[in-house]
A and B are shown apart, each in its own frame.
Chain A
Amino acid sequence: AQSVAQPEDQVNVAEGNPLTVKCTYSVSGNPYLFWYVQYPNRGLQFLLKYITGDNLVKGSYGFEAEFNKSQTSFHLKKPSALVSDSALYFCAVRDSNAGNMLTFGGGTRLMVKP
């Protein structure tokens, strides 16, 4: 079975500071990992994904994520937060051995304060 955990319901950061949103996963095969962002009353927008290759993945809006196989983590990062980054962030995983289904984490609300 595949699972993903986002241990923080909310992350608060000051504008201009670096941000990290945490995600850990569990799969039996190789993981395909994804980050999505959701702004109020909108659908989820794709940010970035890790399938294979470099452990550091760069995505939209200056976000990046680091795949760490030993720690089974895929934390989302940004060097300098913007107030407009405030949103709900979802991590998702798909087990390469287990069909086409994504499993989503519970989401982390990012609040960036001026």
Chain B
Amino acid sequence: DVKVTQSSRYLVKRTGEKVFLECVQDMDHENMFWYRQDPGLGLRLIYFSYDVKMKEKGDIPEGYSVSREKKERFSLILESASTNQTSMYLCASSRTGTSGGTGELFFGEGSRLTVL
């Protein structure tokens, strides 16, 4: 069964702390994504990656960075967490069109981050 695993389901951090959210997929997908989800705002794309060491900004990259050192792992980093980054964070992966993908995303279970 295909799987996207997010390391932490629930985190509570303090303002100013550095936060790492880890995501691992076992499907050999080329593409990986980080979204945040807030009530009334739907899913908003933070960053995505088409390949190892490649990253592209999404719609709301400010305050975030990412790392993709290995194909299966995509990390989201909050350098200095702020209260307005309290949210549900969703990782997803997909196969590229050239390798038979249709764009279908496979999601992890989500990481709910609270910044106090």
- Residues facing A in B17-43 (CB within 8 A) are 31, 40-43
A100-B50, A105-B42 as given contacts; A49 in contact with B90, CB under 8 Å: no
Determine the distance from Cα of A32 to Cα of B97 in the docked complex, in whole angstroms: 12
Interface range on chain B (Cβ under 8 Å from partner): 20 to 34
**How would residues 89 to 105 of chain A score, 1 for a CB under 8 Å from any chain B CB and 0 otherwise?**
01010100001111011
Choose among A44, A94, A100 the residue that contacts B90 (Cβ–Cβ < 8 A): A44
Determine the distance from Cα of A106 to Cα of B4 in the docked complex, in whole angstroms: 23
Q: Does B63 contact A (CB under 8 A)?
A: no
Determine the distance from Cα of A36 to Cα of B103 in the docked complex, in whole angstroms: 13
Q: How far is the CB of B40 from chain A (nearest CB, A)?
A: 8
Q: Does B112 contact A (CB under 8 A)?
A: yes
A interface with B by C-beta (< 8 Å): 32, 34, 36, 41-46, 49, 51, 90, 92, 94, 99-102, 104-107
**Closest 5 pairs between A and B when the two form their complex, measured CB to CB:** A94-B103, A43-B107, A106-B42, A44-B107, A43-B109
B interface with A by C-beta (< 8 Å): 4, 6, 31, 40-43, 45, 48, 50, 88, 90, 92, 94, 96-97, 101-110, 112
